[in-house]
């Protein structure tokens, strides 16, 4: 299911992806936001991506690429550990967060929801994606979710 959203002069599309993972919500949450595992799965979406900041409601987090220096600064709008996080993208950046750039992602939202289901966890992500990157993310996001599943189900 997708919805179009107008952000300034460009259109973003809300996308939904989900995956069932044979692991606890706590384990999946850890894989999502632990620095090492985050970099592993996020690299599939944008090479060299890492996260800078503390996961706490009301804090700002930076998602940056060590390869091209581009990223986004996001507000953690809602946070329920092991269950739900909602990011509101506030500013597109370059030079590892030092300068703003074209507002491709600004104003968009991204959420991760974890629900216990059939002895495992259902991970649902909703992401506002710039229309011009829709095809790329339709390929990369499901691959990233598969990687999260692999990491969470490892012994």
Contact 91, 72 (CB under 8 A): yes
What is 73-140 written as a DSSP string? EEEEEEEETTTEEEEEEEEEEETTTTEE---SSTT-EEEEEEEEETTEEEEEEEEEEEGGGHHHHHHH
Q: Which two tokens stand for residue 61?
A: 């987090």
Decide yes or no: CATH 3.30.530.20 for domain 3-153.
yes
Tokens 């739900």, located at residue: 84
Number of alpha helices (DSSP H) and beta strands (DSSP E) in the chain? 3, 9
Calpha distance 9→58 (Å, rounded): 27
Segment 84-93 shows an average pLDDT of 85
Categorize the per-residue pLDDT at 69 as very low, low, confident or very high, splitting at 50, 70 and 90: confident
Model's pTM, two decimal places?
0.85
Tokens 């507002």, located at residue: 103
Residue 127 reports pLDDT greater than 80: yes
Segment 81-107 shows an average pLDDT of 71
Tokens 């995956």, located at residue: 19
Categorize the per-residue pLDDT at 3 as very low, low, confident or very high, splitting at 50, 70 and 90: very low
Angle at 115 between CA 134 and CA 58, to 5 degrees: 70
Residue 130 reports pLDDT greater than 50: yes
Task: Tell me the per-residue pLDDT of 36-65, one tens digit each, with 9 for 90 and over.
Answer: 999 999 999 989 999 999 999 999 998 988
3 state SS of 4: strand
Average pLDDT, the chain: 86
Q: Can you give the residue ranges of every domain in the chain?
A: 3-153
């Amino acid at each position: 299911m997708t919805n179009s959203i107008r952000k300034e002069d460009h259109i973003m599309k809300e996308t939904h992806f989900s995956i069932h993972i044979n692991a606890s919500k706590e384990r999946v949450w850890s894989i999502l936001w632990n620095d090492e595992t985050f970099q592993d799965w996020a690299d599939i979406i944008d090479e060299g991506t890492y996260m800078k900041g503390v996961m706490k409601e009301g804090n700002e987090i930076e998602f940056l690429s060590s390869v091209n220096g581009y990223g986004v600064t996001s507000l953690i709008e809602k946070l329920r550990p092991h269950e739900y996080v909602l990011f509101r993208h506030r500013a597109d950046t370059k030079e590892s967060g030092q300068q703003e750039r074209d507002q491709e992602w600004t104003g968009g939202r991204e959420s991760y929801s974890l629900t216990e289901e059939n002895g495992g966890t259902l991970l649902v992500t909703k992401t506002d994606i710039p229309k011009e990157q829709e095809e790329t993310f339709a390929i990369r996001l499901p691959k990233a979710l598969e990687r999260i599943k692999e990491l969470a189900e490892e012994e």
